[in-house]
Amino acid sequence: MKFLILLILSFLQVLIASLNGFSTFEDSANYIFMARHIFKFLAIDTISGEITKAGHFPPLYSFLIWLFNEHYLILHSLFLFISSLSIYLILRNFTFSVIFIFQSPIIYNYNSIMSESLFMTEVCILLLSLLLFEKTNNFIYFLIMLLSLSLMPLTRHIGIVFIASIFLYFLIVRKYKISFIILLSFAPYIIFLSFANITREISFHPTILQDIKNFIKNFSIYLYYKPVFPQITGLLILFIFLYSLFKLYKLERRIFLAISIIFPFYILFILITSTFLAAGVKNQFSRFLLVLFPLFYVSVILSKDKILKFFIIFSLIFGFLTLKNLSNEPLRYSSKIWKNAPSIKFIKSLKKNYKIYSNHPFAIYLLTNKHSYNLPVKINYITLSENKSYYLELQNMVNEVRNGISLVHFVKRYNYKELTSKDTLILLLKDYILDFEDAIIFVNLK
């Protein structure tokens, strides 16, 4: 009966939150594109917009989108049900497993067409199978844990951190017994890497004090997806997490040890990645922290501290606010401001098959189903390295517009310093301007 209630509540939560659509972001377009070309193994290059061999985005989430025929309500409800069921079996507390469903980061996460929804589910399964294996020594739970670990890097590359963390955990707890079997979890990921297209230049951008402050601030997402005094809230959440771990040490030492290994390893991996490979990650700390919410939640509830439990109950206020806000207006490209944009309607109406450039190419794909390319980038916003062929790419694009081959779509409210600016486009293409309320389109209609 309890399982059925969790299933119904999971479905209702996702249904209500997505009444006006699921939230979509830049990466959502890639996951959907990959799902639609799943057997060709194609993806959209994040920087240029070129169609390329997949690799930067692991395929598992896209495969499930394809398998469920883009029925996100069913897919994400299933994810949430599995997560809440895992939390219930970990906590053995039905009330707090229901409260888990209506926490703000959970509502936000399972309303977004992003791989974090699947990854968080895998984190919950991992915690449950680890706990059950340690309590019963039943090898079935070990195999479930091994399966969840194997799937994590196929969902997000950072899943390798969980494999390394659990390997270290078993090495400490059980010495050499079965520890090295954990390393078998790398096998599917290694096979994936053997035919994936992953290229990333090394670009050194050391982590500085401001990055650490920004990192702490992003813990505020555990309370509410919109910043609520982010610096203070982030510090409060971090303090609650550390305090709950301190209490957990006396009550559930195995769980304490697992979380205490996973969490710092995960954070360290993000900081190292942002320093050497993807400095742009520093602007997405909240996304990376979001999937660790089950660790925070389990730690707080298992600590059995009444004040901490009251904080979780109190946070339901923000959960219901999130539910209300998302049901009225989904985020980013699914929002009314994008769906009703005059420039988007114009592009939809075009009969000629123009090559499209935009400062928001993924919006074009999601809203018109037409492929679009990024404007020539001055600076690679992932590695923050300079694009040496920028002026050649800019000249090629300008010539294509003048010759009636391409059009440029420039959303007015976004003028990213990494991309070709509006003023530059107006200067070079002043004879081809169509001015809309939301955007400028540069096109030769003759």
What is the per-residue pLDDT for 279? 56
| Length of the chain as a residue count | 446
Bridge partners (DSSP) listed for residue 21: none
d(CA 43, CA 55): 8
Sign of the torsion angle spanned by Cα atoms 171, 175, 180, 185: negative
d(CA 310, CA 424): 55
Q: Which two tokens stand for residue 189?
A: 């990921």
Q: What is the pLDDT of residues 263-285, one digit of tens each?
A: 999 988 888 877 776 655 666 67
What is the per-residue pLDDT for 201? 57
What is the per-residue pLDDT for 199? 64
Across the chain, mean pLDDT equals: 91
The residue-averaged pLDDT of 99-120 equals 97
d(CA 274, CA 285): 10
What is the per-residue pLDDT for 112? 96
DSSP symbol at 76: H
Percent above pLDDT 90 for the chain: 72
The residue-averaged pLDDT of 372-383 equals 85
Q: Which two tokens stand for residue 333?
A: 């490209």
Whether 90 shows a pLDDT value over 90: the answer reads yes
d(CA 226, CA 223): 9
Q: Where along the chain do its domains lie? A: 2-328, 336-443
What is the per-residue pLDDT for 278? 61
Q: What is the pLDDT of residues 159-206, one digit of tens each?
A: 999 999 999 999 988 766 788 899 999 999 999 988 887 665 556 666
How many degrees, rounded to 5, is the angle at CA 7 between CA 4 and CA 8?
90
Q: What is the pLDDT of residues 97-107, one digit of tens each?
A: 999 999 999 99
Angle at which helix 72-91 crosses helix 293-302, to 10 degrees, equals 30
DSSP 3-state assignment of 43?
A: strand
Q: Which two tokens stand for residue 314?
A: 């109190």
DSSP string, 347-413: HHH--S--EEEESSHHHHHHHH---EEEPPBSB-TTT--B-TTHHHHHHHHHHHHHTTSEEEEEETT
Q: What is the pLDDT of residues 302-323, one digit of tens each?
A: 999 999 999 999 999 999 999 9
What is the per-residue pLDDT for 260? 94
d(CA 432, CA 410): 13
Q: What is the pLDDT of residues 16-50, one digit of tens each?
A: 999 999 999 989 999 999 999 999 888 888 777 88
What is the per-residue pLDDT for 57? 87
What is the per-residue pLDDT for 179? 83
Percent above pLDDT 70 for the chain: 94
d(CA 60, CA 93): 31
d(CA 116, CA 132): 24
Decide: 58 and 34 in contact? Cβ < 8 Å.
no
What is the per-residue pLDDT for 205? 64
Decide: 126 and 148 in contact? Cβ < 8 Å.
yes
Confidence of residue 215 (pLDDT cuts 50, 70, 90): confident
d(CA 47, CA 159): 23
Decide: 120 and 103 in contact? Cβ < 8 Å.
no
